[in-house]
Amino acid sequence: MSESVGDVAIEEEPQEYYRGHVFDAADHDRTITCRGTLIMIYDPNAAKGTAPYWKYKVPARNTDHDVPAGYEVKVIDAWVKLTK
């Protein structure tokens, strides 16, 4: 069974490091546990220039946040775990 980028981060595994990645929207709510240079949760259907739903930029401290159904997660230089 092959894994694509992000598969491990979505399972019940320890956080996985990503230099840069966009997690596609899901049809269910999720929770993100993360720390890093830039983590954004946003509505991919929002007008260009709309502020993200949530933005986090603390490389040294973990935090948890909700990711609503239909929202994407963009990470740059971050440790991430997504769970249902």
The reported pTM is: 0.84
Could you give the number of structural domains in the chain?
Answer: 1
Q: Does residue 36 lie within any of the structural domains?
A: yes
For residues 57, 59, 63, 65, the Cα torsion angle rounded to the nearest 10 degrees is 40
Note the pLDDT tens digit of each residue in 42-81: 999 999 999 999 999 999 999 999 999 999 999 999 999 9
- What are the structure tokens assigned to 36, written together? 């890093």
Of residues 11 and 13, more confidently modeled: 13
Q: Does residue 22 lie within any of the structural domains?
A: yes
For 73, the domain range is 15-83
Distance CA 7, CA 27 (A): 16
Tell me the one-letter amino acid at 40.
M
pLDDT at residue 1 tops 50:
no
pLDDT at residue 12 tops 70:
no
What is the phi-psi region of residue 3: left when phi exceeds 0, alpha when psi lies from -120 to 50, beta otherwise?
beta
* 3-class secondary structure, 7: helix
Q: Does residue 21 lie within any of the structural domains?
A: yes
Q: Does residue 10 lie within any of the structural domains?
A: no
Q: Does residue 38 lie within any of the structural domains?
A: yes
